[in-house]
Structure 1
Amino acid sequence: MNERILIEQLRQGNQAAFKQLVEAWQNMVYNTALGILQHPEDAEDVAQEVFVQAYQSIHGFKGDAKLSTWLYRITLSKAMDHIRRKKRKKRFAFVRSLFGEHGELVEDPPEFHHPGVSLDQKEMAAVLFKAIEKLPESQRIAFSLHKVEGLSYQEVSEVMENTVPAVESLMHRAKMNLRKWLGDYYKNLDSEG
């Protein structure tokens, strides 16, 4: 179906059009959220929020970008909101644990599994995703969209509403940070063994 027709049907509240929107972009939305959040349950929650937001705000969609670009923007916004909420909860949980009976942390992050990572590379991927998590927000978004989702610099610039040179700069800084952190990690592994 033509994107303009789909958008028009969505604006009219057509349920079949909404179902088509979800079916066409659910994997992209989920994988983008997962690449940033690194927790399947969180990514599922964010994906649901993204489609609810898209349905509610389709009238505000101007059509100056592709529908997929608009959905990437909503996904990134929702994922970053989720991270901020989680950090607030973690800080609160940590403060509460200071006054708890046993003094242990309330929340321990589960292991991370991304659908695009094979089993034999799981440990290395987990280390990489932990390092990505430490990147500043704009670097993390640019790196995830380009390296994890496979978008071109031009597409990343459209999603982030930035210039291509700005995205190239973010990617360069992200790679430098990751190289430094991962280099330290592997040096520590060598010295332990």
Structure 2
Amino acid sequence: MGRQKRKGESAIQDEVLIEKAKAGDEHAFRLFIEKYKNLVFKAIYPVLRHEKDAEDASQEIFLKIYYALPQYSAQGFKAWITRIAVNHAIDVKRKKQRQQEMILEPEVLHALSPSEENVVVPLLRKEQRELVKNRLQDMPVNYRKVIEAYYIEEKSYKQIAQEQQVEPKTVETKLYRARNWMKKHWKEDDF
């Protein structure tokens, strides 16, 4: 009975802190962080499996929670912040994996055995194709066609030149300009 009452009091205290934080009370939000930092860390550590990454992500999560507080409406606070925390940790992990896959430089690829290279290189190409495919709509149409043909459909300069009724040298120039456009307009972690 006493334990149930304490649990209820804790929920009421949370609601008071949340209302104060929503109203811009920084002290209330700091108390809230103190109270829930361990819960957030325990929720994200199994996803990230690295203490420093989990600590960095925790700070970003509390910032997200702060901005999301106005949308919170008494639907189970621990579950709500845990969901935000885990979703953020998954995003962080995906981004990190994508960066690590794209970082494999040619000298690293040369160090791989032929059988490893047969697995890694196609995976990298597939990953790169997916990233390009997801961002194609952002490109000017004249670049989009040549990038789609070369990277997504994996056609040769000669095939593209025949289809577009231009010289292979023109395809090479278009690709060069399209790649420059991508470097200029897309962040490194997008491509």
Give the TM-score, by structure 1 length: 0.49
Q: Greater relative contact order: 1 or 2 (C-alpha under 8 angstroms, separation 6 or more)?
A: 1
More helix by share: 2
